[in-house]
Amino acid sequence: MEFLVATNDPVRCSFLLLLLRDAGFRPVLYDTHMAAAEGSISAIRQRIAVPAEQAPAARRFLQEAGELY
């Protein structure tokens, strides 16, 4: 798995997961429970990853969609 995005915004995570799934990628969300458990200090971010063989295409897809920053 290769990580594409790390964010503290749960709405953005949901949007990116949906966007990637609709494009045929197999994204996985990491650290959801840890991010919620640490509270509002935003020390732990949720991370989105895809299988290594999909990573270059997924990065290109997110870049073209204006979502990789």
pLDDT at 42: 64
Residue of higher predicted confidence among 50 and 34? 50
pLDDT in tens, 4-44: 999 988 899 999 999 999 999 999 999 876 655 565 566 68
Chain position carrying tokens 């290594």: 52
Residue 58 reports pLDDT greater than 90: yes
Q: What is the pTM of this model?
A: 0.83
Residue 62 reports pLDDT greater than 70: yes
d(CA 31, CA 38): 11
d(CA 22, CA 42): 28
Domains of the chain: 2-64 (3.30.70)
